[in-house]
Structure 1
Amino acid sequence: MKSKISILFLMVVVIATSCLTPDGPLLEVQNPHNQPVLGKSFVVERSTVDSLLKGEWTDNSAIKVTDQRERLLISQLDDVDGDGQWDELVFQANFNQDELLQLSFEVVDESTLGEMTHLTNVRFARKESPDQEVSDEARLKSTDSPTISAIYQMEGPAWENDVVGFRNYYDARNGMDIFGKRTSEMVLDKAGINDQNYHELDEWGMDILKVGNSLGAGAIAIGIGDEIYRVGPAEAAGFHLISEGPVRSVFDLTFNGVPAGDRTYDVVHRISIYAGDHFYRSQVWVEDLQGDEMLYTGIVDMHELPVFEETYEGVKIFGTYGNQGFNEEILGLGVLIPDDQFLHYKAAPESGEGVIETHLTALQLTENAPSEYAFAAGWELQDAGFTNDFYFKEVLKKSAIKLNNENWSMTIL
């Protein structure tokens, strides 16, 4: 995977001609793979969208995205930079093998488009009634579940799509956990309140991971030499919701003054989840780098399961598979990293201070550029196919195809 292509963000757009087709400008996208790709998400900058629009934009406008067969694609407009104006259009499409789609972007009145079903969700709320949602609130500096679980629903922000959910311990642990889901509905708004216990199997699912002092399901740390420093303790840390919609949800976890030996760093961890994915995506920026640092993420290792490794479609895949769910059910876990950002793998100590019991993967850190990875989970009670390790590994490969934009191009007709 070329570093100039983000696994999370923008595609290359080629202007094929300045002429308009009879139906106006179209965006042509072709599946470069000899297999179907379902739920492929695309992010297009506003400057490109403006050149494709049919109709005049007003304050009450929305954009209708359709293909050449008039099928409506799910989409949303996101204000990523927080200036009050949308700057990215996000849409999702399904492709048959080698299929070519020609997409139309039409300005319509927001009321005529109707409300699209939200297939992603972020929930960060207080535990006590009226369960008020919070934002831009300081992260706790405690390190235990009883303290934070009395304040926040699910101990901190949680995010989900129609397949899987995750949560973050909003204290100095900064751990990452997983919700296994048995429904495609958005359910985390009601988890952990009104006597609901997400550590026990409910109709919708449950918390399925034991994290301890590991990096759990993709938490982060800074490495300097042989030392590893968890990103969690900080002078100040916070949460900021960027977007929540039918295609994706995005938010930032921010950390100012993260101690690492005799140094401190400012860190932004941007998390996004897209409809239909078995994974969430991460971008991590670290400021004040001196050049000898690396970023660590990883997979909890409490069950002594072997780690497998593969490179597929420009993505380095590390995973474990076996009876490692909360109730010993089958659970597959995986980290996916752009191959050109991956540095090395190593196992954390089994005990001691700091980060332990983790399959650690190291990524390059670059000033003013994000390190990127995704964390995937496959739970047997969500999909019986995950009782087969081959099936889980194939899901990871399909996830790599979704993440790697290198061979996808867009052409304006």
Structure 2
Amino acid sequence: MKRTILILLALSVVAPVSAKGRKADYRVTFPSRDNAVVIGDVPAWAKGAAVFCDGREIPSQLDDLDGDGCYEELVFVYEGLPLGFRGEAAGQPPVEVGFRVLYFAEERAADYPVRVNAQMWLKNPDKSLREVAAAESDKDDMYRRLHHHGPAFESELAAYRVYFDKKQSIDTYGKKRPGLELRETMWYPTDEQLRAGSGHDNLRVFGSISVGALKGWDDRRQRMVHITEMNRREARIRAAGPVRTVVDMRVEGWRYGGRELNMTSRYILYAGHQDVQAEHRIEGECRDLLFTTGVMKIRDGFTATLRDSVLVSTGCDYPENDSVKWERERMALVTVVPGRQIVSRTDDAASHLVQLRPDAGGRIDCRFWAFWRKNGWLRSEDWESGAGLASLGDWASYLSRPRVERLK
């Protein structure tokens, strides 16, 4: 087998172009095992799309991420990377694959399997719940007004929620078997659901960085700074499947470091993925300000830095205060940050941290993962130590995204 694969699409094996459709061919280069593809040149008139590879349709999704009524991105997950492929960081040449996209001027119904879910539930005065796609407040009062305290999102392999408060920390929900279940458990499974094999919240975040959250940094006191003084907060589900979820947490008028900033933290989870892409966009004069992220210190655990830009924390603690009903859970957390933006590596009492500066565009992007002992698809010995986690893959390589080129 050739080490670099190029699949050329022939017109004879692709669905015919209808009078209402227009084709576009793309070459995608995969430099790592990240198989989530984003095409950003969607025609403004497109209302539907279909993606083909080697004559077979791949489930895809069109997303309007800014709410202007037009789709900006077409996304899909490519499952055909060669077995054993680890990417450029492991000394292997990248994989090149050809795709054909048909764009349609009308909506196109497609019966794709739903492999992700995002949800947010507002509490009504009568204690019933109302599902919403957006919530906002100019006070710090949304944590208790929302069920599970903020938006939650899941793939078949993992689930996360973002606290809608000054911490904006990420909490984790472990699964024992692949599948979607938040619609049924609502993050808090009943005893019957637990006996039937459902997952559950498996981490006590406390006041830590949790995993992958971005906060301010007090260099004099050597500790993180929560997002406290602000004018407005917003949580918004931008996309909810079937291929990926996109959740935005936005704060406006954040008074930090003697400035007033706006910051949008976007969390993206793809079907078949346990990792979350976190894209933090900071508006305002922030080039000389420090921010921090990392992984929390878990009780009875240790941390290992596999590379300068990778932080790993493992440990064992009770996920709830009720230590009679809940047993201690062994967890592993991973956060990967762009090494070129790291300024220092200083921990605080609750977290293993790196301090970063935004790039020229005000961006700080990272990826994070959560694993636990009860994941039915992982061997515990693979991740209970830093060396074991290293064997699972080159974490930093995941910052290398698939590269998309439109062919003429």
Give the TM-score category using the shorter length: 0.7 to 0.9
1:218 paired to 2:212: yes
Residue matched to 1:347: 347
Structure 2 unaligned blocks of 5 or more: 1-8, 13-22, 86-93, 320-326
Q: Deviations over 1:349-378 (max 9, x none)?
A: 3xxxxxxx0111222224643110111111
Residue matched to 1:86: 71
Q: What code does the residue aligned with 1:344 have? A: S
Q: How far apart, in 1, do the equivalents of 2:119 and 2:192 lie?
A: 14
Q: CA deviation at 1:124?
A: 0.7
Identify which range, 185-194 or 298-307, moves more after superposition.
185-194
Q: How far apart, in 1, do the equivalents of 2:310 and 2:298 lie?
A: 20
1:119 paired to 2:112: no
Change (3 A) 1:30 1:282: closer
Q: How far apart, in 2, do the equivalents of 1:367 and 1:171 lie?
A: 28
1:375 equivalent among 341, 354, 368: 368
Q: CA deviation at 1:71?
A: 2.6
Q: What code does the residue aligned with 1:87 have? A: E
Residue matched to 2:27: 28
Q: How far apart, in 2, do the equivalents of 1:232 and 1:181 lie?
A: 33
1:288 paired to 2:278: no
Contact 2:259 2:285 in 1 (8 A): no
Change (3 A) 1:360 1:290: same
1:9-408 counterparts in 2 under 5 A? 26-32=25-31, 37=33, 40-46=35-41, 49-50=42-43, 62-68=48-54, 70-94=55-79, 95-96=81-82, 97=85, 99-107=95-103, 114-127=110-123, 128-138=127-137, 141=140, 148-149=143-144, 151-192=145-186, 196=190, 203-227=197-221, 228-260=224-256, 262-289=258-285, 291-303=287-299, 305-311=301-307, 316-324=309-317, 326=319, 327-349=327-349, 357-366=350-359, 368-382=361-375, 383-389=377-383, 390-395=387-392, 397=394, 399-405=395-401, 408=403
Q: Deviations over 1:182-209 (max 9, x none)?
A: 2433222333489847997762200010
Q: CA deviation at 1:262?
A: 4.4
Give secondary structure in 1 for the equivalent of 2:290: strand
Give secondary structure in 2 for the equivalent of 1:124: strand
Give secondary structure in 2 for the equivalent of 1:321: strand
Contact 1:386 1:392 in 2 (8 A): no
Q: CA deviation at 1:169?
A: 1.8
Change (3 A) 1:26 1:193: closer
Q: How far apart, in 2, do the equivalents of 1:360 and 1:400 lie?
A: 16
Structure 1 unaligned blocks of 5 or more: 1-19, 51-56, 350-356
Q: How far apart, in 2, do the equivalents of 1:400 and 1:154 lie?
A: 31
Q: Deviations over 1:329-350 (max 9, x none)?
A: 221101111222222222103x
Q: How far apart, in 2, do the equivalents of 1:163 and 1:265 lie?
A: 35
Q: Deviations over 1:273-329 (max 9, x none)?
A: 112222211111223335431111121114253221123xxx821101232462432
Contact 2:335 2:367 in 1 (8 A): yes
The percent of aligned pairs where both chains have the same amino acid is 20
* TM-score (structure 2 length as normaliser): 0.78
Q: How far apart, in 2, do the equivalents of 1:190 and 1:229 lie?
A: 35
Give secondary structure in 2 for the equivalent of 1:346: coil
Q: Aligned residue pairs: how many?
A: 363
Q: CA deviation at 1:242?
A: 1.6
Q: How far apart, in 2, do the equivalents of 1:77 and 1:99 lie?
A: 24
Q: What code does the residue aligned with 2:353 have? A: L
Q: How far apart, in 2, do the equivalents of 1:198 and 1:121 lie?
A: 22
Give secondary structure in 2 for the equivalent of 1:297: strand
Q: CA deviation at 1:103?
A: 1.1
Contact 1:331 1:377 in 2 (8 A): yes
Residue matched to 2:4: none
